[in-house]
Amino acid sequence: MQNHDEIPVESESESTAFNIDYEADDDWSNYKDSDVMQQQSAIFEQDAARFPFVGDKEPLSSLEAEYKSGSPILLEKIKVLSEKYAAIRRTRGDGNCFFRSLMFSYLEHILESQDQAEVEHVKANVEKCRKTLQDLGYADFTFEDFFSLFIEQLDSVLQGNELSISHDELVARSRDQCVSDYVVMFFRFVTSGEIKKRSEFFEPFILGLSNTTVEQFCKTSVEPMGEESDHVHITALCDALGVPIRVVYLDRSSCEKEGGVSVNHHDFVPTPADGANASTSETGSEPNPFIVLLYRPGHYDILYKK
């Protein structure tokens, strides 16, 4: 017999998320949507217990340990990575990892650098995004809470005001669903707004990616929680906020250079629609994004430079 109300959870077992007896009664029509959704949220809760939204900072060697018995190409690549990068901070793989990584990485950077100019620059862009959404016909109440929560986080990583928080508190907040989910939704709104605003630019990429209209893409692949991010999302968010992002790719593709393996990366640099990007390039034209994310197929984590 099935019991739809109680989902047995075996905390010890690694592989079986659910213990519903499929053999006993495999009539799936007995499952109501609410049961399925309940199951799904139970899976997320289990994951949550196992892994926080944002993990602790770990030395890069922990990544190596993960692939010990795996592909030699990956091990080679991790060796190459370790020349430039010292540490990794993992995020939960729930489809929101790009946004959660970006949130933590950005706020941590502001906390450590106390870069007032960068905060002003981003706040100005956030205001533009708000305007974009209004112009697109979004009702204010649908997004204002998410916007104000993000601004609040920005203000609190700047020191010297009554909202100021420590690094520990930033970690704690990033693990708090109320804060983290709200910031993820803020990013999703900004991303969706930017894509729709420049739909002519994004249309061909979206067609290539999912063969849908821009409107449909935003509705199904940007705005719902848990939808994974792709190049289109990153480009849009980076442009909208004016924040450059480096993505380092760790996959099995062999990119042999003379004398060994190399690791690909891509710098997402805001398009000059927003001219004031002085804070990003160090010397000359070489961009040097302070946000570095490690991409493994289907997942983003945070990387720390040496």
Partner 1 sequence: MLDFGRVQKELQECNKDINLSGISVNPKFDNLINLIGSIPGPVATPYEGGTFKIDIDLPDAYPFEPPRMKFATKVWHPNISSQSGAICLDILKDQWSPALTLKTALLSIQALLSAPEPDDPQDAVVAQQYLKDYQTFASTARYWTESFAKTSSLGVDEKVQKLVEMGFPEDLVRKTLGAVGGDENLALEKLCSA
List the one residue from 50, 219, 252, 266 that touches partner 1 (CB under 8 A). 219
Smallest distance from the beta carbon of 142 to partner 1, in angstroms?
A: 6
Torsions phi, psi of 71, nearest 5?
Answer: -60, 130
Residue 33 binds to partner 1 (criterion: CB under 8 A): yes
- Residue 284's alpha-carbon distances to 78, 90, 121, 239, in angstroms, are 29, 32, 20, 20
Q: ∠ CA(124), CA(223), CA(288), 5° rounding?
A: 45
CB 43 within 8 A of CB 82: no
Give the interface segment with partner 1, choosing from 85-93, 167-175, 218-226, 292-300 (CB under 8 A).
218-226
**Which region, judged by CB under 8 A, interacts with partner 1, from 14-22, 97-105, 110-118, 223-231?**
223-231
CB 100 within 8 A of CB 53: yes
Q: How far is CA 253 from CA 136, 260, 303, in A?
A: 41, 13, 20
Cα–Cα–Cα angle for 252, 63, 256, rounded to 5 degrees: 30
Rounded to a whole number of angstroms, the minimum distance from the CB of residue 85 to partner 1 is 34
Of positions 139, 162, 253, 278, contacts partner 1 by CB under 8 A: 139
Nearest residue (CB) to partner 1, 173 versus 246: 173
145 binds partner 1 (CB under 8 A): yes
State which of residues 220, 254, 264, 271 lies at the interface with partner 1 (CB under 8 A).
220
Retrieve residue 277's tokens.
Answer: 């990007």
Residues annotated as part of the active site: 94, 97, 265, 299
Judge contact between 216 and 231, C-beta under 8 A.
Answer: no
Nearer to partner 1, 181 or 230 (CB): 181
How many residues belong to the chain?
306
150 binds partner 1, rule: CB under 8 A = no
- Measured from the CB atom, the residue of 13 and 142 that comes closer to partner 1 is 142
Binding residues vs partner 1 (CB under 8 A): 32-34, 37, 41, 138-139, 141-143, 145-146, 181, 185, 188-189, 192, 219-220, 223-226
